Amino acid sequence: MREVYVVGIGITSFSRLEYPLVEIAGYPAMMALKDAGLSSVDHVYVANMGAGRLNKQTGLASAVVDHLALTPAGAEAIENGPASGASAIKQGYMAVASGLHDTVLVTGAERMRAANSLETTDFVATLTHPLAEYIYGVTLPSLAGMFTRLYMDKYGVTSRHLSMVAVKAHANAMLNPFAHLHELITMDGIEDGPDAGTNNPMVADPLRFYDCCPVSDGGACLILATGEVAKKLKKPMVRLAGVGQATDTHAVHERKDPTEVTAVRLAAQQAFGMAGFKPSQVDVAELHDAFTILEIVESEEAGFFKKGEGHKALEKGLTKIGGQIPINTSGGLKAKGHPVGATGVGQAHEIVLQLRGEAGARQVKGAKRGFTCNFGGFGNNVVCLAFQREG
Amino acid sequence: MREVYVVGIGITSFSRLEYPLVEIAGYPAMMALKDAGLSSVDHVYVANMGAGRLNKQTGLASAVVDHLALTPAGAEAIENGPASGASAIKQGYMAVASGLHDTVLVTGAERMRAANSLETTDFVATLTHPLAEYIYGVTLPSLAGMFTRLYMDKYGVTSRHLSMVAVKAHANAMLNPFAHLHELITMDGIEDGPDAGTNNPMVADPLRFYDCCPVSDGGACLILATGEVAKKLKKPMVRLAGVGQATDTHAVHERKDPTEVTAVRLAAQQAFGMAGFKPSQVDVAELHDAFTILEIVESEEAGFFKKGEGHKALEKGLTKIGGQIPINTSGGLKAKGHPVGATGVGQAHEIVLQLRGEAGARQVKGAKRGFTCNFGGFGNNVVCLAFQREG
């Protein structure tokens, strides 16, 4: 296999965006082309989950390649629920590694806020099992609520721990100009103070308002290329060193123990195995905290902390910027935002920024190795990526 | 790059299917696993265009991998309009060729007939340019009608030629038990006889009823593997020898000359270049005849006949079974059916059957080399595949 490098990156604000989906995909791609110093690529992938339903559009990849004047490059849209972004990066990896293409542009885009919120909630719920979950009225927050309760009971995680994830995420997002939520929150405001109940109402017991990510529009782009191309372009040499992916039962209740998120464990092990480094050597990670509990769980399953000890590490501040392993420096899904199809590409964008030393006020000093975990369904299809700065 | 072989195939009837989308994807996959003699694979791709809108389902690939008990194999859905099928096969090719996976299952599935026909027509129209075509009321038949008129004027193609494509397609479909339309039609019945006008009414001038493919449900599956695996499984050695893909302007009217279908030409050239054989060496081909004119056009752009001479070859019977280059032995989209996301996989299924010598009454004797053209959008994203029987 040929080695694969990231030679260009781009991102939109994650927010409500009042322009067409094809432009949400196109704008970060133009930034990435400019960043790379390229005006054409061999192939294009578009990561997206909702175009058919929310935006009544198919053939999105063809529209994007045309919009960017990148024809006759081939193009596809990749859908893997909220893990569509990292799945598309995996396709880009294979396209370059196989020798079929030398330069591949991967852009993720979602326009969710064009639909009303009931429609959006129902749309997101369609990623649950159609016959065993969805038809009984399961939504993602309700599923996450039940999961969180099990985790609290088993490992002694409390509501305070969940709020610590939110407070850290919002603090990091204050340092990220592209983040959706620029709102500094405190433990006093959402947990301990007299107004905490009003400020942070229950959504799906035990998850409250500040435990849930916002619904965002947004796009993010990565350009992948061979080592030869990367050297020619004189960009910092950030290598996509490992790719891992695993699935689990589609319905959560069919798992022997739902608190064991096996797909994260397997996907992380694959990514680290391929990259040739260990979780303890990672300098910065982006985990898929669509709900606060997920950052804690993934920090364990990915191997940064022992099972059941993620919340203790959080308490000790080990996952803050400046800590042992800073997690979600971007603000995470919780505060940076979660435009579903774009999220995985956005996570990779943050890691590349960090490994290039271009993350500004939220820079992790001397970061050389990075990791992302993009969590599809409710843990039924997970893609992990490992990145390494060379030279 | 490692070489890639087809080790298993499966297909459903193309028809109206009254079972869930995940089963339409799953049933041909089970046939293909049985055909290959495998009970697990390393990765799964699901080709689909309409799940989000027509079936209100996302995360389809996760549902399919779970339904087939193939977890923890990774999985994605691939969307490239009506060329989703061949696009997914291309991803499978790269996954095996790159060395990342040894066995990859590619299943295509569509359930279009669950929606009413207005909804389906609108859904298909969403693959046109959202801002330059779709919003002005373009549908696929109307676009194809305008294209056909241009082609007739330029090259002397007549309505009789279009009907010859339909008559050949229906005749071939009579020999294919999985085809949607089992209805023998004649030139007398749809073109020359006294009832032809009633039997074959105008749809979008100059296209009439029998010039348009039906709306079908259906699924088809291919399992790809390394040469080593293929040898172990003792299946006929059918190699996926070439993969080509090209895009063109999304909006048809932006092309300098809309009768030049450049994306087919480029994709075919790539596929043949990679495979190392010429159009003249092909024994059997499946072309994307969603409208009768397209079989004629693609037979030229793929290199089987000179530009503007496809209809003459048809007239001479060169594309019939037993002719110089039999085209659409399966019945084609026209009579086999067109479950959009599954179509490209279905085309490959037919070619593999032919190269294995298992095509029964429609077998092309001694077929060694095959070709498919899967036409996305209205020629804006085309994927061509070349297959070769070894040994």
CA B12/CA A94 separation, integer angstroms: 30
CATH code for the part of the protein at B4-116+216-233: 3.40.47.10
Quick check: B59 and A97 CB within 8 A? Answer: no
Within 8 A of A80 by CB-CB distance, chain B residues are 59, 61-62, 75-77
Q: What is the least distance, in Å, from the CA of B245 to any CA of chain A?
A: 5
Residue in B closest to A274 by C-alpha: B100
**pLDDT at res. A131:** 86
Candidates A76, A101, A121, A135: best to mutate against B (most CBs of B within 10 A) is A76
Enumerate residues 6+ apart whose C-beta is below 8 A from A128: A134, A138, A140, A143, A250, A251, A377, A378, B59
B381, A75 Cβ separation under 8 angstroms: yes
Alpha-carbon distance values, B182 to B15, B176, B211, B331 (Å) = 11, 9, 16, 10
User: Are A166 and A185 a contacting pair, CB within 8 Å?
Assistant: yes
Substitution target in A22, A41, A42, A62 with the highest count of B β-carbons within 10 Å is A62
Residues on chain B touching A267 (C-beta within 8 angstroms) = 74
For residue B158, give how far its alpha carbon lies from the nearest alpha carbon of chain A (Å). Answer: 31
Cβ neighbours, 10 Å, residue A123: 20
Cβ–Cβ below 8 Å for A130 and B65: no
Q: Which helix (H) or strand (E) holds B85?
A: helix B84-97
Q: What is the CATH topology of the domain spanning A4-116+215-233?
A: Peroxisomal Thiolase; Chain A, domain 1 (3.40.47)
Q: How many CB atoms within 10 Å of residue B257?
A: 9
pLDDT of residue B156: 97
Q: Which of A23, A54, A58 to mutate to test the interface with B (most CBs of B within 10 A)?
A: A58
Q: How far apart are CA A307 and CA A155, in angstroms?
A: 9
Chain A partners of B98 at a C-beta cutoff of 8 Å? 1, 94, 97-99
Q: Which residues of chain A have pLDDT under 70?
A: none
Among the partner residues A80, A94, A131, nearest to B77 by beta-carbon distance: A80
Pinpoint the alpha helices (H) of chain A: 21-36, 51-54, 60-67, 84-97, 117-125, 140-155, 159-173, 187, 196-199, 227-233, 262-275, 292-301, 310-315, 332-335, 340-356
Query: Would the pTM of this model clear 0.90, i.e. be above it?
Result: yes
B61–A80 C-beta distance less than 8 A: yes
- Minimum distance, in Å, between the CA of residue A316 and any CA atom of chain B: 34
Partner residue facing B58 (CB), from A93, A97, A127: A127
**DSSP secondary structure letter of residue B48:** -
Residue partners of B128: CB distance under 8 A and separation at least 6: A59, B134, B138, B140, B143, B250, B251, B377, B378
Shortest distance between the Cα of B195 and any Cα of chain A, in A, equals: 39
Q: How far is CA A57 from CA A60, A62, A111, B79, B336, in A?
A: 6, 11, 11, 11, 26
Instruction: Provide the residue ranges of all domains of chain A, joining segments of one domain with +.
Output: 4-116+215-233
pLDDT at A325: 98
**Chain A positions in Cβ-Cβ contact with residue B25 (cut-off 8 Å):** none
The Cα B89–Cα B156 span in angstroms is 36
- Optimal mutation site among A64, A91, A139, A247, interface B, most CBs of chain B within 10 A: A247
pLDDT by 10-residue block (mean), chain B, 391 residues: 97 96 98 98 98 94 97 98 98 97 98 91 92 91 96 98 98 98 97 96 97 98 98 96 97 94 98 98 98 98 98 98 98 98 98 98 98 96 98 81
A356 and A389 in contact (C-beta within 8 Å)? yes
CA atoms of B247 and B20, how far apart (whole Å) = 32
The answer to whether A62 contacts B251, with C-beta atoms less than 8 Å apart, is no
Q: Which of A71, A78, A380 minimises the CB distance to B249?
A: A71
What does the pLDDT read at residue B114?
A: 87
Q: Supply the ipTM of this predicted assembly.
A: 0.97
Sign, CA torsion A181/A187/A189/A190: positive
Q: Are A3 and A75 in contact (CB under 8 A)?
A: no
In this predicted structure, what is the pLDDT of residue A202?
97
